Amino acid sequence: MKDKYKDLFSPYTFPNGVTLKNRIVIAPMTHWSSNPDGSVSEVELKYYARRSSGVSAVITACAYVLPNGKAFHGQFAADRDEMIPGLRKVAKTIQEQGAKAILQIHHGGRLCPPELVPNGEIVSASAVPAEKPGMKTPRALTENEIKELVEAFGEATRRAIEAGFDGVEIHGANGYLIHQFFSPHSNRRTDRYGGTLEKRMTLPLEIIDQVKSVVAKYAKSPFIVGYRFSPEEPETPGITMADTIAFVDVLAGKGLDYLHVSLHDFRSTPRVGVKDLTKTRIEYLLETINGRVPLIGVGSIITADDAKEALDTGISLVAIGREMIVDPDWMQKIEEGRENEIATCIYTDQQEELIIPDGLWDQILNRPGWFPVKER
């Protein structure tokens, strides 16, 4: 290994005492490969086994916490106890390769396809459809339903604990339900869950408190709790960098083990809401956090130099998503001084070699620009 990459392999200890063997984690990536009932399939176990040996932790694809929260075909479930045996297999598969296993827990809200949820009824903070072609108008959740939702995130956490995971990540990013409650675009409520910026923080903070209380009650050893967020959104009105700075300031005081910013590129700069649009979002977030909680950064990290550049910003951990699908041996190649051999594209004859499930493979081939794909 070259000296300049040594920091990527240095251990990291979370505030709760759990130590990771290095600074690289796998970002949550949807794989469209669970069974139709939400149970874990054999192919996704093979997929995780192939990618978990070099990294220090794997944040899984998102698992839905309620039946009306399923956002993808082939998404796995954490909404009922019957799912625990399959989830246990996921956790064990990852841990047997030497990585910590973190279950991402999630509700799709207004982004759920109607055919995947009971009675085709999609729900959100308010009756405002997503700004995408053909999206249905959701029904606003009642306060009683919000209480049930908060409890469901707690129950999913209990299941993760019983399944042997090392932690959970609360998915508050990428336009899904928790994000919808924080967004002024999707949240037009006038009760305690909407209106002011502070009230739009209410649901995510209640979910964090519920998850932490379940961990305190059920976990017999230190258990990681992280929170993922998106710093801005393109809609008007939408989440601005100023909104996120205020929110992250609150999140940094919640006793979380980490925050995870969802970015397409870790070098990206804010759109609106701050004076200096040349400073990166990461810089603003690190200034706001001021050492109070670890920050995981993600986005367009392909090479070893990209990862070093990201870690050098001051973030605690680097999350890599697509590149770990392209080259599952990414970490090992850097450790062995073969970083120049890292693959940066997928060839159309590599599905079996890379152990990529059919659902994910179809997406890779049919979503232009998402992955670099070539023919031999």
DSSP for 83-147 reads GHHHHHHHHHHHHHTT-EEEEEEE--GGGS-GGGSGGG--EESSS---SSTTPPPPEEPPHHHHH
Query: What is the 8-class DSSP label of residue 138?
Result: P
Cα(140)–Cα(126) distance, integer angstroms = 4
If pLDDT is split at 50, 70 and 90, which confidence band does 295 have?
A: very high
The Cα–Cα gap between 114 and 122 comes to 6
DSSP letter for 41, please.
Answer: P
Q: Report the pLDDT value the prediction gives residue 376, as an integer from 0 to 100.
A: 86
Mean pLDDT of 252-275: 97
pLDDT at 120: 97
Could you give the CA distance from residue 5 to residue 208 in angstroms, rounded to a whole number? 35
First to last CA, the chain: 30
As given in the structure block, the two tokens for residue 345 are 């594209």
pLDDT digits 0-9 by tens, 80-92: 999 999 999 999 9
Give the pLDDT score at 335.
Answer: 97
pLDDT (mean) for 312-333: 97
On whether the CB atoms of residues 59 and 99 are closer than 8 A, the answer is: no
How far is 165 from 153, CA to CA, in rounded Å? 15
Residue 143: its pLDDT value, please? 98
193-251 pLDDT, tens digit each: 999 999 999 999 999 999 999 999 999 999 999 999 999 999 999 999 999 999 999 99
Instruction: Give the mean pLDDT of the chain.
Output: 97
The pairing of strands 123-124 and 139-140 is parallel
Buried b (16+ CB within 10 A) or exposed e, 325-354: bbbbbbbebbbeeebeebbeebeeebbeeb
Could you name the CATH architecture of 3-344?
Alpha-Beta Barrel (3.20)
How large is the average pLDDT for residues 35-53? Answer: 97
Q: Which of 144, 160, 142 is nearest to 106 (CA)?
A: 160
pLDDT in tens, 340-349: 999 999 999 9
Instruction: Give the DSSP H or E segment for 248.
Output: helix 241-251
- Encoding tokens for residue 370? 């998402």
For residue 327, give the DSSP letter: -
Which pLDDT value is given to residue 91? 98
Those residues with Cβ within 8 angstroms of residue 247's Cβ, 6 or more apart along the chain or in another chain: 182, 197, 201, 204, 229
Residues 6+ apart with CB under 8 A from 11: 19, 20, 21, 22
Provide the whole-model pTM. 0.98
**Domain residue spans of the chain:** 3-344
Average pLDDT of the residues in 33-38 = 97
Report how far residue 53's alpha carbon sits from residue 330's, in angstroms, rounded to the nearest whole number: 10
Q: What percent of the chain has pLDDT over 90?
A: 99
The token duo for 248 is: 């992250």
Tokens 């258990």 correspond to what residue?
223
Q: Which residue has the tokens 């209640």?
A: 206
Main-chain dihedrals φ then ψ at residue 54, nearest 5 degrees: -95, -30
Residue 75 CA to residue 61 CA, distance in Å, equals: 8
Report the relative pairing of strands 100-106 and 167-172 from DSSP bridges: parallel
Where residue 236 falls (left for φ over 0; alpha for ψ -120 to 50; beta otherwise) is: beta
Give catalytic residue positions.
176
